[in-house]
Amino acid sequence: MELYAKKGVADACLDLQDGFGIDVNLLLFCFWHGCHYGIFDQATLEQALEFSAIWKREVVQPLRNIRNWMKGRELEFNAGQSTQFNTLRERIKFDELAAEKYQQETLELLAAKAAASSLTPTPPDAAIENVKCLLAAISVEMREPLTAKLAVISSAIEA
pLDDT band at 46, cuts 50/70/90? very high
Instruction: Tell me how far CA of residue 151 lies from CA of 20, 70, 86, 126, in angstroms.
Output: 16, 34, 36, 14
Least confident of 47-61, 65-79, 80-94, 98-112: 65-79
pLDDT band at 36, cuts 50/70/90? confident
Can you give the pTM of this predicted structure?
Answer: 0.85
Contact between 104 and 110 (Cβ < 8 Å): no
22 is in which domain, residue-wise?
A: 2-158
Please tell me the total count of domains within the chain: 1
Q: What is the mean pLDDT of the chain?
A: 89
Contact between 152 and 7 (Cβ < 8 Å): no
Residue 118, pLDDT > 80, answer no
Quick check: bond before 121 cis, omega within 30?
Answer: no
